[in-house]
A and B are shown apart, each in its own frame.
Chain A
Amino acid sequence: MKAPAQDAGERGLVEAAQKDPTRFAELYENNFARVYAYVSRRVNNREEAQDLTAEVFHQALANLGRFEWRGVPFAAWLVRIAANAIADRWKLVAREHGNPISGELSSKEISPEEIHHHARLFRLVDTLPAEQRRVIEMRFAQEKSISEIAKEIGRTEGAVKQLQFRGLESLRSQLHVSSRKSTARKSAGRMGRLNA
């Protein structure tokens, strides 16, 4: 749950951005991880996740004046924009390919806790020591191989693997046990293959 003070701070930011759109940058920084976390869980590839995330923030910026503060977090509004954008995209895909909307994709529900957990993980990456962070970024976001990373940062492959290990270890230690439970299902799904 959010503290009332946080709400007040967020409300202030939204109102400031409604008056002066250049203040939107702060809302963007505060909400990027959450929107991306939601979108990336609902679509299958990075390009689509990036397209949709960009669409959400552009729409939010264009319609900021219409957002009314009724105690619903700004992030929830963004997630609703994202959900609509994803639904629109599927409709478009379905029309273009002459297929009915894929029930599996469109009905996929993501709980607020799962979004929160994911966004938190993304933000934790930002707090890692510089080298660990760089390796994690390159390995997962840029999908580079250990040898590519080693070449780029001028370390041995063994050292890069160690940095990856330590980075994941410190992410694990910082993540709340309780918040991990909620996403265990999806992760277990992916891990299921590993232990098949």
Chain B
Amino acid sequence: MPKQNRSEQLDLLVDALIARPKTAPGKREPKASPKLQALARIAAELLDLPRQDFKDRLKSDLGRRTSMASKPVMKAETRQTATAYLTVRDAAAAIEFYKKAFGATEVMRLVGPGTKIGHAEIRIGNSKIYLSDEFPDFGSVAPQRPGGSPVKMDIVVDDVDALTARAIAAGAKEVRAIQDQFYGMRTGQVADPFGYVWNVSTVLEELTGEEMQKRYDDLVKQGAFTQPQQKPDEKRAPRAVRPIPEGFHTLTPYLAVNGAARLIDFLKEGFGAVEKFRVNRPGSELVMHAEMRMGDSVLELADASDEFGARLLGNILHVHDVDAVYKRALEAGATSRFAPIEQSYGDLEAAVKDPAGNYWNITEIRKTDHRTDDTRTILPYLNLAGAAEFVEFTKRAFGAKEVSMFQAPDGKVIHARLRIGDSILALGEAHGESALILGALHMYVPNVEDVYAAAVREGIKVLRPLRDEPYGDRAAVLQDAFGNWWFPSTHIKDVQF
């Protein structure tokens, strides 16, 4: 019997099996040879075959639970006796803020009624803090009133300056500048957006109560607490610089191209980018550094140099009208990789190469779960050899968190999204049509020393060690084992050009 016929016959049997529940009783089924019957028996058993997407989804659900469960939950014997309980308006936002500002980790939350948080527990260092949304009917009211909360929070850390900078970068306001205090600590005070004031300190010297009282008495004698501390002619301390410059997020793609000026024109015409800053190399038409604003994101670029040869980057560009942007990009000189189509995951997507050859996926998000609070106009993506290892590396080196992860059965990463600081990075395994696309990422952090140290500990290659740059950043140039460039930076002083 020819094979073609057998496969046709087998499919008739399979069809009958699949349709079985709907088959009218008494309907004649096809007869088959013993061999085909044996195969059809296996087919019958396969009707129970689990769906791969179900298996993956359940795994990631369980993974989410275990990652929460594995956070240090206090055992009874180490549970702290007294704990602050903060009532805030928008507890979910407050938890996010405390994560960003003070490096808090979420221990648990109870949601409801509605989206309100009835109770949540976060951990800062070795301390737990409880918080909840407002429940005025039960006497829980947030401190949004004149004067704010009479209760202050107090944090003692190894580096008060770094934590204060981090908190201010996350949206806290300075209340009192950091100063060395008589009680042996260096202390500053910030107010969070939810109405609480936090003292932040580092211990300078361990003092006894007696020693402290003596110093305190001296200060009282000097009238330190009866007169305004600031004399009228004393100049106010200069406003602290933002460690992450205005408009920047944690990750900013940095394009090194041949023909930066042409690319700037394209970005303006094709994508409606706004040029914020450009400086040419001395005595040259070549661009040394330029910054373009696109929606809520910044893109940096420069002409390729000896140190940084041209490198093609990949970015996802989130737009509201993919057809219009695609058309405009082509008119401005982009080449099409594919015209707008509806992808299987529900989004409308087109792809182009800009005149310098960089990859742009122009995406109109249709499915709301693809849009999160940190979905920005530009989302850098990488196609790497060893994407799964890269994910683990970024977790260790940069504290990246997995936002989503789709893996092939062999473990290869099809598409993953990572959160680093307040930015998302997309990536997948390079294969076939998706060639290697390496990254060049400017990474603004409040504490570049720590980030640099952690990355070096993870064996990253240092192309340029950490140093103060003339443009006011403390920055380094690193290359990971996958070939990506990282430029971790903290802005330390404002420089006028």
Residues A75-133 near B (CB distance < 8 A):
118, 121-122, 125-126
Per-residue interface assignment for chain B, residues 37 to 57, with 1 indicating a CB less than 8 Å from any chain A CB and 0 otherwise: 111111111111111101100
B367 beta carbon closer than 8 Å to chain A: no
Per-residue interface assignment for chain B, residues 1 to 38, with 1 indicating a CB less than 8 Å from any chain A CB and 0 otherwise: 00110111011011011101001000001111000011
Q: A28-B59, A161-B8 are in contact. Are A194 and B30 (CB under 8 A)?
A: yes
Q: Which residue of A lies closest to B409 (CB)?
A: A126
Which residues of B have CB within 8 Å of A164?
7, 10-11, 14
B7 and A140 contact, CB distance less than 8 A: no
Least Cβ–Cβ distance between B98 and chain A, in angstroms = 23
A140 and B47 contact, CB distance less than 8 A: yes
Which residues of B have CB within 8 Å of A29?
59
A168 and B10 contact, CB distance less than 8 A: yes
Q: A21-B70, A190-B44, A195-B31 are in contact. Are A122 and B50 (CB under 8 A)?
A: yes
A191 and B40 contact, CB distance less than 8 A: yes
B63 beta carbon closer than 8 Å to chain A: yes
Our count of residue pairs bridging A and B at CB distance below 8 angstroms stands at 139
A162 beta carbon closer than 8 Å to chain B: yes
Interface size on A, residues (CB 8 A): 54
Which residues of B have CB within 8 Å of A25?
59, 62-63, 66
B43 and A165 contact, CB distance less than 8 A: no
Q: Which residue of B lies closest to A159 (CB)?
A: B7
B48 and A49 contact, CB distance less than 8 A: yes
B40 and A136 contact, CB distance less than 8 A: no
Which residues of A have CB within 8 Å of B30?
194
| Bound form: Cα–Cα A143–B47 in Å | 8
Most A CB contacts (10 A, CB to CB) among B6, B30, B45, B55 go to B45
B-side residues, CB < 8 A to A, are: 3-4, 6-8, 10-11, 13-14, 16-18, 20, 23, 29-32, 37-52, 54-55, 58-59, 61-63, 65-67, 69-70, 409
A-side residues, CB < 8 A to B, are: 20-22, 24-25, 28-29, 32-33, 36-37, 40-41, 46, 49-50, 53-54, 57-58, 61, 118, 121-122, 125-126, 136-137, 139-143, 146, 158, 161-162, 164-165, 168-169, 171-172, 175, 183-184, 187-188, 190-191, 193-196
